């Protein structure tokens, strides 16, 4: 079946612009995660949704970062007033279950590479 998809795949923004990154999880997956991957580093957790509820946003680096999943399926990560340090690959992952199942496999999307000039 279809995997996790993300759009756009590449985004170039001028410093100060707002951007919106989209994630389409695997159909029926309850849990959705956003990660940030800097060049040459491992992914770092940003935020977690169980259905439409944002249960953990402890990894969001500043109040310029905002995520939503209003209908419990598609999610959008928005970054306001982008800065050069926001340049990274933003990965979305989904997993079938919620409720704190800590051994659930996470399936990743291809990521959006954001470059802030």
Give the residues lining the site for other proteins (CB under 8 A): 4, 31, 33, 35, 40-45, 48, 50, 55-56, 59, 91, 95, 98, 100-111
CB of 68 to other proteins, least distance (A): 16
9 vs 103: CA distance, rounded Å: 29
CB of 39 to other proteins, least distance (A): 11
User: Which of 72, 71, 87, 85 shows the shortest CA–CA distance to 21?
Assistant: 87
**Between residues 19 and 46, which has the closer beta carbon with respect to other proteins?**
46
Longest dimension (CA), the chain: 40
* 23 contacts 75 by C-beta, under 8 angstroms: yes
Give the single-character DSSP code of 72.
S
**Between residues 27 and 105, which has the closer beta carbon with respect to other proteins?**
105
CB of 52 to other proteins, least distance (A): 14
CB of 101 to other proteins, least distance (A): 7
**Between residues 54 and 76, which has the closer beta carbon with respect to other proteins?**
54
Q: Terminal CA-to-CA distance of the chain, rounded, Å? A: 37
**Between residues 41 and 115, which has the closer beta carbon with respect to other proteins?**
41
Q: What's the token pair of residue 59?
A: 């990894």
């Amino acid at each position: 079946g279809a995997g996790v998809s993300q759009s756009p795949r590449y985004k170039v923004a001028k410093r100060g612009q707002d951007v919106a990154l989209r994630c389409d999880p695997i159909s029926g997956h309850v849990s959705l995660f956003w990660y940030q991957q800097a060049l040459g580093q491992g992914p770092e957790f940003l935020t977690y949704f169980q259905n439409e509820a944002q249960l953990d946003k402890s990894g969001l680096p500043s109040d310029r970062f905002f995520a939503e999943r209003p209908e419990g399926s598609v999610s959008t990560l928005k970054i306001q007033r982008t800065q050069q340090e926001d340049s990274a690959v933003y990965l979305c992952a989904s997993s079938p279950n919620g409720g704190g199942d800590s051994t659930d496999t996470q399936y990743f999307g291809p990521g959006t590479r954001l470059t802030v000039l």
